Amino acid sequence: MMESRVRIAVIRFPGVNCEDETKRAVESQGMDCDILMWNGPRERLAEYDGYILPGGFTYQDRVRAGAIAAKDRIVDCLFEEAQAGKPVIGICNGAQILIESGMVPGMTPGKVEMGLARNIMPDRDGYYTRWTHLRVESDASCVTWAMSSLDVTSIPTAHAEGRFVTIDEGLIDRLFENGQVVMTYSGAKGEAEPAFPYNPNGSTRGIAAVSNSSGNVVAMMPHPERAAWLSQVPESLSGHWGAERRGAAGSRRILAEPGPGGEVFTSLRTFIVERLRGRGGEA
Amino acid sequence: MDAVVPSFVSIVRVLGIGDGELLHTLVQAGLSFTPDEARRVAGLLGRDPTVVEANIFNTMWSEHCSYKSSRKVLGEHLPTEGAGVVLGPGEDAGIVRLATVNGKSYCIAIAHESHNHPSQVVPNEGAATGIGGIVRDVYCMGADVVGVLDPLRFGDPTGKNAERTREIVHGVVEGIWQYSNALGVPNLGGDVYFDSSFDENCLVNVVALGLVVEEEVIRSRIPLEATDSDYDVILVGKPTDPSGFGGATFASRVIDEERALDDKYAVQVPDPFLKRMLTVATRDVFKLARDSGAVIGFKDLGAGGIACATSELGAAAGLGVRIDLSKVIVAETNLKPEVIACSETQERYCFVVPKGLSPLVLRIYNEVFELPEICHGSGASVIGEVIQEARFILEHEGAVVCDASTEAITAGICYMRESRPRESVEREYVLPDGLDVRAVLLDVLGAVNVASREHIYRHYDCEVRGCTVVRPGEADAGVIAPIPSAGVGVAVACDGNPFYGAVDSYQAGAVAVAESVRNVAAVGAHPIALTDCLNFGNPEVPEVFHDFVEAVRGIGDAARGIGLKDSGEPIPVVSGNVSFYNQSSGGSAVLPSPIVCCVGRLVDVSRHLTTGFKRGGDSVYLLGRRGTKLGASAFLRTVAGDLKAPVPEVDFDDERRMMVAVTDIAESGLAASCHDVSDGGVAVALAEMVLLSPEDDPIGARISVRRLCGSAPGGSGHDLELMFSEAGGYLLEVAPGEEDRLLNILEDRGVWYSRIGTTEAGVGLWFTGTADGDFALTAEELARPWTDGATGAMR
């Protein structure tokens, strides 16, 4: 039987600015995608198989990045959809919203257990833009479903507040044990817990992406939509993807092939098809 | 006959009083007119102006708005037309054709401005509103902004003003990232120079680049359809407040420290969040207009606020407007009408739309995007209407406070300033004996004006929008593929070496063009348009004005001399800006600083080139003969300070031949990397090719210094001249198998070239055959000064 195409909604909160390229990246991996207004009719949400909160500066980062949007009613609706197992991915500012809403890591419902704090970097402050290498710590999440644990991928980061922190003692260990740490910053070959600039923001134990316990809600700081095609990868980048990129120089065809971020969107699609739809047709 | 002004409207008394009393009146009224200018206003009106009128003329006749000192010179020297030009200078941005994809003619809209004075006084807000203003200039053409660039000039980071300079550097960079990152426009490049002449006048230039389909361009004028149907004037954005009142006149005089506190209020307050909301909502308005077949006019509010924008919309169509200032949404009560009319509150646009469409436009901003709730008090409102008579009428609380012909307001005034050459300051430089070339190279690499700018550009989001192909720091120009479904690329770079300006303003203009063209060609793109921002001191000083004229002449000659690749027509200068009065109250002007931005087209973006060496075993070629003039070079400044020796002259024919050949080579896929020769000469360019090679597979090179003077044996030249000459040129990395095809192109195009060495993995940089023998530098030795040399100044 023909599977119906996967449908993804990208949520446009006031101040997001990555919605268009996120939509393109989703579509490039064989899914349909619509951009939905934060204040639009909420019943439409149920029509979609998964949701992405894209990057940007919702509500001007008032109070803290993501803090205002996290209180929006649409987040409650997303929480309900997530309870049914549907994936919700927060990228960069979207990650900040998911953390501020308590949906991630979501150990205690309704509780904000982590924060995305200001970057700590030697001899500089504020915003920092850099391609990072990432080690897959868990392949059970909706952003790593098509990858394998300990795979190394490369995706750019760009933020001023991306340092995963918590005051809950033992939480970080539990997140690792539960497989809720989805990705960590690494060296080009997957070396763990590297120093700046490989860990671009001083994040605790190099954490770059965290999920809820079911793996369907993920807060990730790196921007996979900026690495969706090989043409987006820098030529001088180290590691596997840099070499792939240099090898493709001059070839329009190869440069149009999926880049490292493409695997994140492939994961989203296969997660929906295999885990949600494959499970007794409940989706 | 002009309307009689009601007696309760304040007027400025101009007629029938002497110079002394008039000057006093003008100063009291906060106007910067000369008495003669005030009388010309009264003459145009046939009566004393109202306070509102006086303020409007005061703004419109400021140097900033009227180009009263520069207009004639620009018109005389700069080529602005060409087959690809859709819109030349005159509106908010110039527009040039890029490519036709699926039957649609895609164009690049580009604008280039300065925000120098505000950034000196309030660095963060000044720079942020610089970005905010320049992107509005591009958005208002109906374009989507796809990139920004920021050429910056700061004071001496170790000089007497060091502390303030560091504050300004930090504030400006922070203002740029806070605004453009939040707005969601990628930063594609720029450049940074430090010199004590900028101690009291930093330069913050900004360039914005937009993509627009030709038939969807929106003009900054009332549509001609308004002659037989009713049109409304709609103001949208931030509620009007007094911020930036007097901004245009502030930018048109020397900064006076005594007035620094007052000047702060002349700087606007940035709000990138609201701008993002406006940008997304405005796309829906454009779509609404297209779908309903309505022709609309659209303009951003910048200098001169509502008065300037609405009068220019009218004048461009030969029509008039009647605006009720009482209908403007304001942030505070009791604003005087002249403040509402002329304040430069940020994040505002003005629409002219058919009356029937107005409610739908208001709905998009006020209801769909909930602007009044989300961004406190902002929104859209109808503030007036188009009238058939070409008059500019402002009402406030029932009284007419301005009634003048639109033509009179917008025509501006023109001055021919006195021009006098400076006394020649050039001195010959004699190369000293016994310089340690190796040590000099490391010193030059670590010089504050040569070393890596990474500390700054990593603050900037360069990849938002997802179209970026080459980021700052990877090549000589930024490259984007702005049309997702197509393979066409856009390359963009800006340049302007102030030290050339210190010696020879004509060459500074010419080299700014040549260097920006080289930067674009070095990534494989051929130029399609230029913009310029001309930063000078007080134009009333004859030597300063002469520098200005010479720079413009240099830009014009270079644009014609190098020309477009295919047709040889002049590269059109489609947009630009003049910033005068970059002069301290103590009297010293900034170094003459013509800054040029070049936009290029890559037919196939996958054929772009980057700077870093790619692999061992390739040949390294130099294009472009080395010269003997070292004036203004990074080398000379490192070893001899500010000595003003003659600078290299740009050879337009050579530059053209090299641009044509290099872009041929890139399009044919013959080169693995390419870098232009500029600050620091071949030696620094080679070091950068090593330093930007793959992070985990560093590639070095072995270079024969004798070969820098040509492949023929017996070539002569001093080692230091060969290595550090900043005569225009390119370095290419070419695989051995491609060399025959490469040489065919170089010979065909008549380019001077020499094979100067080979790449080799992991060896750093070797120079052989200097007068003192061979020497080597490891990649680590090169990296240290280059990475750290300028970081202290940028932190």
The 10s digit of each residue's pLDDT in B341-394 is 999 999 999 999 999 999 999 999 999 999 999 988 899 999 999 999 999 999
Domain check: are B435 and B307 in the same one? no
Rounded to 5 degrees, what are φ and ψ at B395?
-115, 155
Cα distances (angstroms) measured from residue A176 to each of A43, A107, A182, A206, A211 = 36, 13, 9, 12, 11
B311-342 pLDDT, tens digit each = 999 998 999 999 999 999 999 988 999 999 99
Task: Show which residues of A are catalytic.
Answer: 92, 223, 225
- CB count in 10 Å sphere of residue B627: 20
Domain check: are B358 and B436 in the same one? no
Q: Residue B255: its pLDDT value, please? A: 67
B125, amino acid identity: E
Mutation for B interface: A13, A129, A201, A265, most B CBs within 10 A: A129
Do the domain assignments include residue A83? yes
pLDDT along chain A (283 residues), means of 10: 84 97 97 96 94 95 86 94 96 96 92 95 95 98 97 97 95 97 97 95 97 97 98 96 96 95 97 81 42
CB contact under 8 A, B177 and A127: yes
Chain A residue closest to B178 (CA)?
A: A127
Q: How near does any CA of chain B get to the CA of A168, in Å?
A: 31
Which residue range is the domain that position B219 belongs to?
70-410
Chain B residue closest to A231 (CA)?
A: B469
For the ranges A75-89, A144-158, B123-137, B235-249, which has the lowest average pLDDT? Answer: B235-249
Q: How near does any CA of chain A get to the CA of B248, in Å?
A: 28
Query: How many A/B residue pairs have CB atoms within 8 Å?
Result: 132
Rounded to 5 degrees, what are φ and ψ at A241?
-70, -30
> Is B690 in contact with B779 (CB distance < 8 Å)?
yes
Domain check: are B249 and B381 in the same one? yes
- Looking at the complex, does the CB of residue B610 fall below 8 Å from at least one CB of chain A? yes
CB contact under 8 A, A25 and B466: yes
* Torsion angle in degrees (nearest 10) through CA of B438, B443, B449, B450: 30
> How many domains are contained in chain B?
2
Do the domain assignments include residue B306? yes
Cα distance between residue B178 and residue B460, in whole Å? 9
- Tell me the H-state helices in B157-211: 162-183
Q: Residue B91: its pLDDT value, please? A: 87
Q: How near does any CA of chain B get to the CA of A221, in Å?
A: 14
**Which chain B residues are within 8 Å of A10, Cβ to Cβ?**
none
Task: Show which residues of B are catalytic.
Answer: 64, 115
Domain check: are B355 and B439 in the same one? no
B753-794 pLDDT, tens digit each = 999 999 999 999 999 998 888 999 999 999 999 999 998 888
First-to-final CA distance of chain B:
61
Do the domain assignments include residue A214? yes
Structure-block tokens of residue B554: 């240099």
Q: Residue B712: its pLDDT value, please? A: 58
- Looking at the complex, does the CB of residue B469 fall below 8 Å from at least one CB of chain A? yes
> Is B353 in contact with B234 (CB distance < 8 Å)?
yes
Q: Which residue has the higher pLDDT, B177 or B249?
A: B177
Do the domain assignments include residue A257? no
Domain check: are B112 and B181 in the same one? yes
Residue B795 has pLDDT above 50, yes or no: yes
- Looking at the complex, does the CB of residue B714 fall below 8 Å from at least one CB of chain A? no
Structure-block tokens of residue A71: 């209180």
- CB count in 10 Å sphere of residue B421: 12
- Tell me the H-state helices in B184-301: 247-250, 260-264, 272-291
Q: Residue A1: its pLDDT value, please? A: 46
What CATH number is attached to the domain comprising A56?
3.40.50.880
- Looking at the complex, does the CB of residue B377 fall below 8 Å from at least one CB of chain A? no
Domain check: are B674 and B741 in the same one? yes
CB contact under 8 A, B182 and A156: no
CB contact under 8 A, A129 and B469: no
Last residue of a domain, one of B351, B385, B410: B410
Q: Residue B1: its pLDDT value, please? A: 40
Cα distance between residue A235 and residue A249, in whole Å? 8
SS3 category, B77? helix
Domain check: are B362 and B224 in the same one? yes
Rounded to 5 degrees, what are φ and ψ at B2?
-70, 145
Q: Residue B248: its pLDDT value, please? A: 66
CB contact under 8 A, A14 and B471: no
**Which chain A residues are within 8 Å of B606, Cβ to Cβ?**
231, 249-252, 255
- Which of B177, B466, B604 faces A225 most closely, judged by CB atoms? B466
Closest to B523 in 3D by CA, of B409, B460, B605, B630: B605
First-to-final CA distance of chain A:
15
Residue B133 has pLDDT above 60, yes or no: yes
What CATH number is attached to the domain comprising B700?
3.90.650.10
- DSSP E strands in B370-488: the ranges are 379-387, 391-396, 399-405, 468-470, 478-480
* DSSP label at residue B680: T
Q: Which of B36-40, B74-78, B433-437, B478-482 has the highest mean pLDDT?
A: B478-482
Q: Residue B263: its pLDDT value, please? A: 61
- Looking at the complex, does the CB of residue B616 fall below 8 Å from at least one CB of chain A? no
Do the domain assignments include residue B551? no
Mean pLDDT for B691-714 is 88
Domain check: are B716 and B662 in the same one? yes
Q: What is the DSSP string of A244-267?
A: HHHHTTT-HHHHTSB-TTHHHHHH
Mutation for B interface: A12, A17, A130, A186, most B CBs within 10 A: A17
Do the domain assignments include residue B482? no
Mean pLDDT for B262-274 is 76
Q: What is the 3 state secondary structure string of B504-565?
A: CHHHHHHHHHHHHHHHHHHCCCEEEEEEEEEECCCCCCHHHHHHHHHHHHHHHHHHHHHCCC
Cα distances (angstroms) measured from residue A234 to each of A196, B342, B361, B562 = 19, 46, 42, 31
> Is B378 in contact with B372 (CB distance < 8 Å)?
yes
Which residue range is the domain that position A269 belongs to?
7-226+263-277
Q: Residue A283: its pLDDT value, please? A: 39
Do the domain assignments include residue A247? no
Closest to A17 in 3D by CA, of B184, B727, B761: B184
**Which chain B residues are within 8 Å of A262, Cβ to Cβ?**
none
B360, amino acid identity: L
Q: How near does any CA of chain B get to the CA of A254, in Å?
A: 9
Query: Most distant CA pair in chain B: distance in Å?
Result: 89
Do the domain assignments include residue A233? no
Sheet with A32-37, edge to edge strand ranges = A32-37, A7-12, A50-53, A88-91, A217-220, A207-211, A181-186, A128-136, A152-159
Structure-block tokens of residue B497: 């070496």
Rounded to 5 degrees, what are φ and ψ at B87?
-150, 120
Domain check: are B665 and B759 in the same one? yes
CB contact under 8 A, B694 and A237: yes
Last residue of a domain, one of B348, B382, B410: B410
Sheet with B526-535, edge to edge strand ranges = B468-470, B478-480, B489-495, B593-602, B526-535, B573-579
When the pLDDT of each residue in chain B is averaged and rounded to a whole number, the result is: 93
Do the domain assignments include residue B55? no
**Which chain B residues are within 8 Å of A129, Cβ to Cβ?**
457-463
Do the domain assignments include residue B737? yes
Do the domain assignments include residue B171? yes
Do the domain assignments include residue A53? yes
> How many domains are contained in chain A?
1
Task: Quickly state the pLDDT bin for B258 (edges 50, 70, 90).
Answer: low
Structure-block tokens of residue B779: 């990649």
- Looking at the complex, does the CB of residue B474 fall below 8 Å from at least one CB of chain A? yes
Domain check: are B109 and B184 in the same one? yes
CB contact under 8 A, B484 and A228: no
Do the domain assignments include residue B571? no
Do the domain assignments include residue A250? no
CB contact under 8 A, B277 and A15: yes
* DSSP label at residue B422: P
Chain B residue closest to A159 (CA)?
A: B461
Domain check: are B656 and B718 in the same one? yes
B483-531 pLDDT, tens digit each = 988 999 999 999 999 999 999 999 999 999 999 999 999 999 999 999 9
CB contact under 8 A, A17 and B612: no
Do the domain assignments include residue A119? yes
What CATH number is attached to the domain comprising B305?
3.30.1330.10
Q: Residue B414: its pLDDT value, please? A: 85
Do the domain assignments include residue B220? yes
* Torsion angle in degrees (nearest 10) through CA of B742, B746, B748, B750: 180
Domain check: are B114 and B164 in the same one? yes
Q: Residue B485: its pLDDT value, please? A: 83
